[in-house]
């Protein structure tokens, strides 16, 4: 069964289709009174947006979130935080042949089974990579809250095709290293390996092919007891 909910203490629900008017997310159970830096949020979202180069989709979307509820005067209210992102660059005609033709590596077939053939197939519909935008938004919100408690999450491209980046040193992952990766156009620890990956992706693109990859994620300063991150019984993370 496909679900659009992720939940533990915080509940995240995404909605929308790749070629619908908008996609979005609802985040419930956020603690009230948390400052949200909107400029930092936009910078985080810009990292996911298409880069207009050889490494990403050529779809031109700004990924600017419109917050509808849950934030007032720059602070979370504690009520559900809802946001949507407009879709502005759809080319639905490009997908006319997949209503009865399932693409390898996509969710066309499983989506058709789950929704009995009524799912929106344009651009992958609800199963498109486009739906990672609201997930990034949710991650950006939660990331700001966690960083205020000294917990930082960082990621780098560990491998593209057969090219491997330097791994995180689990004994020496610093806040500075994590932040530095966020500001790189191509987030690898080794810039030399990053350039090699970039060139390999471009070669595959020109050959009308694609490449697989692996990312490595690290989180610093996670408390040994997760309850210690709570400020009180109603301040849940």
Range list for CATH 3.60.150.10 in the chain = 1-151
Strand partners, 157: 215
Cα(237)–Cα(228) distance, rounded to whole angstroms?
10
192 compared with 236, residue with greater pLDDT:
192
Pairing of strands 22-28, 11-16: antiparallel
How far apart, in Å, do the first and last CA atoms of the chain sit?
27
The pLDDT tens digits of the residues spanning 76-120 come to 999 999 999 998 865 555 555 656 677 777 788 888 888 888 888
State residue 132 phi and psi, 5-degree precision: -75, -15
The pLDDT tens digits of the residues spanning 198-215 come to 999 999 999 999 899 999
Counting Cα atoms < 13 Å in the Cβ hemisphere of 41 gives 21
For the cut 50, the answer to whether the pLDDT of residue 151 exceeds it is yes
User: 1-151 belongs to which CATH class?
Assistant: alpha beta
Q: Which residue has the tokens 């180069």?
A: 53
CB atoms within 10 A of CB 232: 7
Percent of the chain at pLDDT > 70 equals: 83
The pLDDT value recorded for residue 58 is 57
SS3 state of residue 231: coil
CB atoms within 10 A of CB 55: 17
Average pLDDT over residues 7-24: 89
The pLDDT value recorded for residue 234 is 34
∠ CA 169-175-178, nearest 5°, is 70
Average pLDDT over residues 151-178: 95
DSSP class of residue 29 equals S
The pLDDT value recorded for residue 235 is 34
pTM, two decimals, is 0.81
The residues, any chain, with a CB within 8 Å of residue 34's CB and separated by 6 or more, are 75, 76, 144, 145, 148
The pLDDT value recorded for residue 91 is 58
The pLDDT value recorded for residue 232 is 35
Sorting pLDDT into bands at 50, 70 and 90, what band is 48? confident
Report the run of H or E that residue 155 belongs to, with start and end.
Answer: strand 152-160
For residues 113 and 107, the answer to whether their CB atoms sit within 8 Å is: no
Q: Which two tokens stand for residue 153?
A: 């999450």
């Amino acid at each position: 069964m496909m679900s659009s909910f992720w939940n533990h203490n915080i509940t995240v629900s995404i909605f929308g289709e790749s070629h619908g008017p908008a996609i979005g997310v609802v985040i419930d159970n956020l603690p009230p009174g948390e400052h949200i830096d909107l400029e930092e949020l936009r910078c985080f979202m810009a990292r996911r947006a298409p880069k207009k180069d050889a490494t990403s989709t050529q779809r031109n979307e700004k990924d600017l979130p419109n917050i509808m509820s849950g934030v007032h005067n720059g602070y979370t209210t504690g009520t559900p935080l809802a946001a949507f992102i407009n879709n502005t660059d759809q080319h639905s005609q490009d997908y006319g042949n997949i209503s009865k033709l399932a693409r390898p590596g996509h969710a066309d077939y499983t989506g058709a089974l789950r929704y009995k053939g009524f799912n929106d197939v344009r651009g992958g519909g609800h199963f498109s990579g486009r739906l990672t935008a609201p997930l990034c938004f949710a991650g950006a919100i939660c990331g700001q809250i966690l960083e205020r408690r000294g917990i930082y999450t960082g990621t780098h491209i560990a491998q593209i095709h057969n090219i491997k980046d330097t791994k995180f040193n689990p004994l020496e992952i610093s806040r500075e290293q994590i932040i530095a990766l966020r500001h790189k156009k191509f987030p690898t620890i080794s810039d030399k390996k990053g350039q090699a990956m970039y060139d390999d992706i471009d070669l595959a693109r020109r050959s009308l092919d694609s490449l697989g990859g692996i990312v490595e994620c690290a989180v610093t300063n996670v408390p040994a007891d997760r309850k210690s991150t709570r400020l009180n019984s109603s301040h849940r993370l």
